[in-house]
Amino acid sequence: MTGLRLTVLLGEDDTWHGRPLAAEIVHRAHRAGLAGASVFHGVEGFGASSVVHTQRLLSLSEELPVAVLVVDAEDRVRAFLPELTELLAGRGVATVEPVEIL
């Protein structure tokens, strides 16, 4: 079966009305009936600010990268995109890629 993988890249400090944005995306994906969503914490990265954030011991950096991955049928992922666009409101970046679901 083919489907789509939605990947959302955020900072761990990004929020939606006081709640972690990654958690809000996962809960909304669940309510939308998507097949599944997972959140992964990164150990190092940078975004639009060009500031490198890392978890290395000698660094006091916060705002580590977070990736939210959702995989489901194309129509279901595409139906979720308007809600995701509202949540992101100019933060993070989202990509959609075709995948083969086993």
User: Which tens digits make up the pLDDT trace of 66-102?
Assistant: 999 999 999 999 999 999 999 999 888 999 999 999 8
Using CB atoms within 10 A of its CB, is residue 5 exposed (0-12), middle (13-18) or buried (19+)?
middle
Q: For the segment 40-69, what is each residue's pLDDT rounded down to a tens digit?
A: 988 776 666 666 666 655 555 567 889 999
* pLDDT score of 19: 95
Q: How many CB atoms lie within 10 A of CB 64?
A: 16
Which domains, and CATH codes, for the chain?
2-97 (3.30.70.120)
CA distance 10 to 58: 23
Q: Specify the residue for token string 């060009």.
A: 50
